[in-house]
Chains A and B, each alone.
Chain A
Amino acid sequence: QKEVEQNSGPLSVPEGAIASLNCTYSDRGSQSFFWYRQYSGKSPELIMFIYSNGDKEDGRFTAQLNKASQYVSLLIRDSQPSDSATYLCAVSGGTSYDKVIFGPGTSLSVIP
């Protein structure tokens, strides 16, 4: 079983819609969860991190964490073409403690 799984996509949404990106992880003891955005040919940049169950909002972005279901998601409201990128989910804590495990990423395309 892969440690961090994401749908590879591509996920296509129309401009202005809500984009929903999902991530599941295998280590039940994981404590910290990160979402990175990576534009083509560029390095990953941190969008959000979340530690507690529930929702965390930052502008148009909302991270949702459900530790019981081992599931973390990222919602992007009012999607813009500039949001088109690959979104990487990263998880740490649990048996890996400090080690951060990245998922394969989901490619998002926002259609004007």
Chain B
Amino acid sequence: ETGVTQTPRHLVMGMTNKKSLKCEQHLGHNAMYWYKQSAKKPLELMFVYNFKEQTENNSVPSRFSPECPNSSHLFLHLHTLQPEDSALYLCASSQPLGAGAQTQYFGPGTRLLVL
């Protein structure tokens, strides 16, 4: 399998549920990103990992918890979400940070609906 994959592609959860989004990249990259894209709004950067280390947390509420066990995998753990958290969650990867701006390659996204 090539590129950036995300699972699940669609997720419906209640506000008291706990779920996790998974991202895997097969491009040999060392930087990975989570973005949120709400309807009619620009992409919002949530988290950045470089060589498994979190380098950016863009003021994201603690109900979103990222995990990066290695450079190929990235998780987003969700708990006690709110209906306004319903959005498309996109994972991206790139060459490592620190070497200039990098082209980011996106996964297909997880469409999340919080009831």
Q: Is B61 an interface residue (CB 8 A)?
A: no
Q: How many residues of A contact B (CB 8 A)?
A: 22
Known A42-B108, A43-B90, A98-B97; judge A103-B42 contact (CB<8 A).
yes
Q: What interface size band does chain B fall in?
A: 20 to 34
Q: Is B102 an interface residue (CB 8 A)?
A: yes
Q: How far is the CA of A49 from the CA of B100 in the complex (A)?
A: 13
Q: How far is the CA of A88 from the CA of B100 in the complex (A)?
A: 20
Residues of B within 8 A of A97 (CB): 101
Q: How far, in Å, is B47 (CB) from chain A's closest CB?
A: 12
Q: Mark B80-110, 1 if CB is under 8 A from A, else 0.
A: 0000000010100000011011111111110
- What would be 6 A-B contacts, judged by CB atoms less than 8 Å apart? A43-B107, A44-B106, A49-B103, A93-B100, A98-B97, A100-B45
Q: Which residues of B does A touch, CB under 8 Å?
A: 41-43, 45, 48, 56, 88, 90, 97-98, 100-109, 111
